[in-house]
Structure 1
Amino acid sequence: MNIIFCNINWMKYYNGASAKDRPKHAGVLVKDPSDVFEQNNFRDFNGKCYGYVRSGGDILLDRHFRGVPQGAKSMKDLTIVWCAAISEEESRIVGWYRDATAYKEMISLPLYEDEYIDFSFMADAENCVLVPEEERTFVIKTSKSSARRKGAIRSNIWYAKSEYAQREFIPRVTEYIEDYRGASDMMRIKDLKDQLPEEEITGYEEALLKARELYEEENFRKAVLYYNAAREIEDTYDASYELANAYFKLNGYDEALELAEKMIVDHGEKVELVELAFMASDMVLDMEKAPRYYRRLQELEGQPLTDEEYYEYYNELQSLNRSYKQYI
């Protein structure tokens, strides 16, 4: 098992900083959470997780792993172990990516006009585990409390190449990960499909009203559960359309697109459905669907595209596809 250890700030969910989940370093709150880019390390972005660590430069994969070509820009099949300090003397394993890809140079993946995800590691969300906060019991001593021969973490990226690490520490970590049967606090979008609220729902209107309240509060994960409950009682246009929008807000673009396309078949080409299908397919750089839905949306809104306008969008999408599709 090829392993990279990464030191990041402590958070409960790593699904965006909030008043209830502020980043900490060695038990002290970070003053400016907006500067903590690892805050989204365990957010499911349409089936992927993107991991950030403050590296201070390129990750020289060929220097640390055998068989990696000189100057290699990426390396697959890695295990990325995420660690965070609870004090100046001690860190804990907070989670890991299995079958991950590491990149020599940091990638900046555009999301919206002025929003990017910066990352050095990528893995399928189904291969990522976030240990619940109260169960983070695997201790790693830091350099202040451990002799150098023990291979304690000294930098934000650590390859554990010391004799002690290879002989004792890495086998312990490997055993811990492979034997782990506990829960994961990471919210996976695909797991929401059949989930329902824990509380008993007495009717469609109750479920839909609660879903809308949660949506307005930007609690999109719980909103999905109540939309699921509403649709189980009565699969209406409103419940399905609003569910698709909740998935979109959760970065579940495949789920949003699937629902929108089904509704187009069932209800016709309503502007809001075609618009949602366009936005979802555009987010995943779908070269077949996004241009088609974009053109149809403009027609439905009474502003049909000229060939020049269409190909301007198509060429821009194609350029983004060439640069970023491999990361989506």
Structure 2
Amino acid sequence: MATVIFCNIAWMEYYMGITDSDKPHNGGSWVGESNDAMESRNFQPYQDNCYGYVQQKGYTLKLERLDKTAAKADVLDDVTVVWVAKGEEGSRIVGWYEKAEMYRECQEFDDGSCYYFITKAINAYLIPVKKRDFRMPRASQAGKGRGMGQSNVWYADSDYAKSEYIPQVLEYLKKLENTVAITGLSNEDNGDICKHFK
């Protein structure tokens, strides 16, 4: 089974930078006050890659939660990153990375922004808003180990997550692969995004 991690980020339509018509929201107090979010470019290809950020307390990710042999590793390969955000109808899966590298420490760009995940742009799928219909449970309601808790990162390493929830998610993503193109945009949506950023 794939190595899967769930990351909660602010809600946006395209995640290709902040524009007048696409601003991050439901991303916590800092996002609300600053109208900014480092994850705002999670699906904007740069040199054929996509770079993913999630706000994490302590600024480190626990690779060993996904792979016990990675306790001393700085990077973990071949990770499926499922991006989750809260929209008007609750928390939904908004996209995912396949075959991603996951770093323990945030990797910085020259401009001070940083990322925890990197994948080829052809392995990054952004789900159009109208197709974001897979609900993400919250542990406070579903129970411990059955959804995301207060942290923005859920390692989904409970028996329930491994045996039941993750297989459901992977089946859902597999069905979507045929309806989305590079960085999750269908041909129709690709036309829209070009108009959006002109």
Give the corresponding residue for 1:91.
Answer: 91
Change (3 A) 1:59 1:19: same
Secondary structure of the equivalent of 1:145? helix
Offset, 1:141 = 1.7
Structure 1, unmatched stretches of 5+, are 199-213, 220-328
Amino acid across the alignment from 1:46 = Q
Offset, 1:163 = 1.8
After TM superposition, the structure 1 = structure 2 runs for residues 59-98 of structure 1, keeping only pairs within 5 Å, are: 59-68=61-70, 70-86=71-87, 90-98=90-98
1:183 aligns with 2:180: yes
1:138 aligns with 2:134: yes
Higher RCO (C-alpha under 8 Å, 6+ residues apart): 2
Offset, 1:66 = 3.2
Instruction: State the alpha-carbon separation in 2 of the partners of residues 106 and 61 from structure 1.
Output: 13
Q: Percent identity?
A: 32
Offset, 1:33 = 2.2
From 109, 114, 117, the equivalent of 1:118 is: 114
Q: Deviations over 1:61-106 (max 9, x none)?
A: 12431332x320001111000000126x931000000000000100
Q: Deviations over 1:278-315 (max 9, x none)?
A: xxxxxxxxxxxxxxxxxxxxxxxxxxxxxxxxxxxxxx
Give the corresponding residue for 1:102.
Answer: 102
Offset, 1:24 = 1.4
1:153 aligns with 2:148: yes
After TM superposition, the structure 1 = structure 2 runs for residues 178-257 of structure 1, keeping only pairs within 5 Å, are: 178-180=174-176, 181-184=178-181, 186=183, 219=198
1:174 aligns with 2:165: no
Instruction: State the alpha-carbon separation in 1 of the partners of residues 182 and 167 from structure 2.
Output: 25
Give the corresponding residue for 2:39.
Answer: 38
Q: How many aligned positions are there?
A: 188
**Contact persistence 1:51–1:121 (CA under 8 A):** yes
Instruction: State the alpha-carbon separation in 2 of the partners of residues 105 and 186 from structure 1.
Output: 24
Give the corresponding residue for 1:22.
Answer: 23
Give the corresponding residue for 1:243.
Answer: none
More helix by share: 1
In our comparison, the structure showing a higher alpha carbon Rg is 1
Instruction: State the alpha-carbon separation in 2 of the partners of residues 163 and 106 from structure 1.
Output: 29
Instruction: State the alpha-carbon separation in 2 of the partners of residues 185 and 118 from structure 1.
Output: 22
**Contact persistence 1:53–1:120 (CA under 8 A):** yes
Amino acid across the alignment from 1:176 = Y
Give the CA RMSD over aligned residues.
Answer: 2.9
Structure 2, unmatched stretches of 5+, are none
Instruction: State the alpha-carbon separation in 1 of the partners of residues 43 and 67 from structure 2.
Output: 25
Give the corresponding residue for 1:54.
Answer: 55
Amino acid across the alignment from 1:59 = L
**Contact persistence 1:84–1:93 (CA under 8 A):** yes
Instruction: State the alpha-carbon separation in 1 of the partners of residues 64 and 127 from structure 2.
Output: 30
Q: Please give the TM-score of this superposition, normalised by the length of structure 2.
A: 0.84
Q: Please give the TM-score of this superposition, normalised by the length of structure 1.
A: 0.52
Amino acid across the alignment from 2:129 = E
1:12 aligns with 2:13: yes
Change (3 A) 1:39 1:156: same
**Deviation above 6 Å: which 4+ runs of structure 1?**
none
Instruction: State the alpha-carbon separation in 2 of the partners of residues 185 and 146 from structure 1.
Output: 33
